């Protein structure tokens, strides 16, 4: 498969998982978090499918399309290892949908980052929250969900948060 075909399939899986995640939390109040703004495509999609939700974004350095940059009060700039602990004090236990798109292209580096931030992600989530991720997440508080029918298992990941004691 070409890299273009792979990127198209990844984006289709991402959209399908975000759409399913949004539909699963229609009755669940809470915030939305986007880890990795990139050029702003998924942030823009989240705004369109969850127009009444407050969305917070985490990004190391903003390079998004100008129409897809959140206001400063909803943007955490810097390394996730530093911004997530601070954000937990502000947003902890309030997030209904978390989208994590933090793959770096280096599998070992990405796996290490994912393992390091997973406990912080769980602290952000309210019970029954949905997580959509480009990386597998391992944490006792996260229960894997099956992907949408048109998404090959392992292409993108969905989880539901349980009740945690932190």
How many angstroms separate the first and last alpha carbons of the chain?
Answer: 43
- Pull the structure tokens for residue 79: 């390394």
- Nearest of 84, 85, 110, 98 to residue 141 by alpha carbon: 98
Q: Record the pTM.
A: 0.94
- Pull the structure tokens for residue 141: 């508080």
Mean per-residue pLDDT, 87-109: 93
CA distances from 69 to 60, 98, 102, 148 (A): 13, 17, 17, 28
Residue-wise pLDDT tens digits, 104-128: 888 999 999 999 999 999 999 999 9
* Pairwise pLDDT comparison (164 vs 10), residue with the higher score: 10
Please identify which residue in the block is written with the tokens 């991720």: 133
Sketch out the chain's domains with CATH numbers. Answer: 3-161 (3.40.50.150)
């Amino acid at each position: 498969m070409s890299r273009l075909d792979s990127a198209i399939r990844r984006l289709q899986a991402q959209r399908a998982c975000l759409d399913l995640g949004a539909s699963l939390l229609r009755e669940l109040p809470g915030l939305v978090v986007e880890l990795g703004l990139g050029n702003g495509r998924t942030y823009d999609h989240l705004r369109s499918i969850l127009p009444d939700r407050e969305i917070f974004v985490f990004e190391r350095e903003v390079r998004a399309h100008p129409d897809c940059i959140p206001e400063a009060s909803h943007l955490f700039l810097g390394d996730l290892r530093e911004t997530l602990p601070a954000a937990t004090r502000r947003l902890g236990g309030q997030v209904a949908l978390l989208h994590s798109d933090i793959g770096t292209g280096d599998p070992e580096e990405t796996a290490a980052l994912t393992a390091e931030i997973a406990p912080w992600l769980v602290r952000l989530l309210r019970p029954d929250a949905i997580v959509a991720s480009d990386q597998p997440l391992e944490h006792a508080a996260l229960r894997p969900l099956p992907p949408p029918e048109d998404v090959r298992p392992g292409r993108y990941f969905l989880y539901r948060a349980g009740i945690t004691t932190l």
